[in-house]
């Protein structure tokens, strides 16, 4: 996947954790991963200390697109968010901060 002009690519889990800690309410992170053996995109936002993750199916290979929503979840702590993101990115981190 290629970063858009207003996105910053993140390729390590340590950097992904750091970006999640610094996340503003007007920013987000798009994470490419796999959930229950299905390719997906996870969109992470933060508002007043609560992280919200929306997980969508990922369609296509050359130019992936967002499909239907698989689920959404809120996390009250960064530790719980990290645990979820670790499972999602087991094949390696490919994320974009916007």
Q: Which residues of 33-53 are buried (b: 16+ CB within 10 A; e: fewer)?
A: bebeeebbbbbbbbeeeebeb
- Position 6 scores a pLDDT of 82
Task: Give the mean model confidence (pLDDT) for residues 21-42.
Answer: 95
* Residue pointed to by tokens 């987000």: 28
Per residue in 49-95, pLDDT tens? 899 999 999 998 788 899 999 999 999 999 999 999 999 999 899 99
């Amino acid at each position: 996947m290629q970063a858009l002009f207003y996105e910053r690519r993140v390729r390590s889990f340590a950097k992904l954790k750091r970006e999640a800690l610094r996340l503003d309410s007007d920013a987000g992170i798009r994470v490419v991963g796999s959930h229950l053996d299905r390719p997906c995109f996870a969109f992470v936002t933060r508002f007043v200390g609560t992280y919200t993750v929306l997980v969508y199916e990922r369609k296509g290979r050359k130019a992936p697109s967002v499909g239907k929503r698989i689920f959404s979840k809120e996390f009250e702590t960064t530790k719980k968010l990290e645990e979820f993101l670790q499972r999602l990115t087991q094949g390696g981190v490919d994320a974009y901060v916007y």
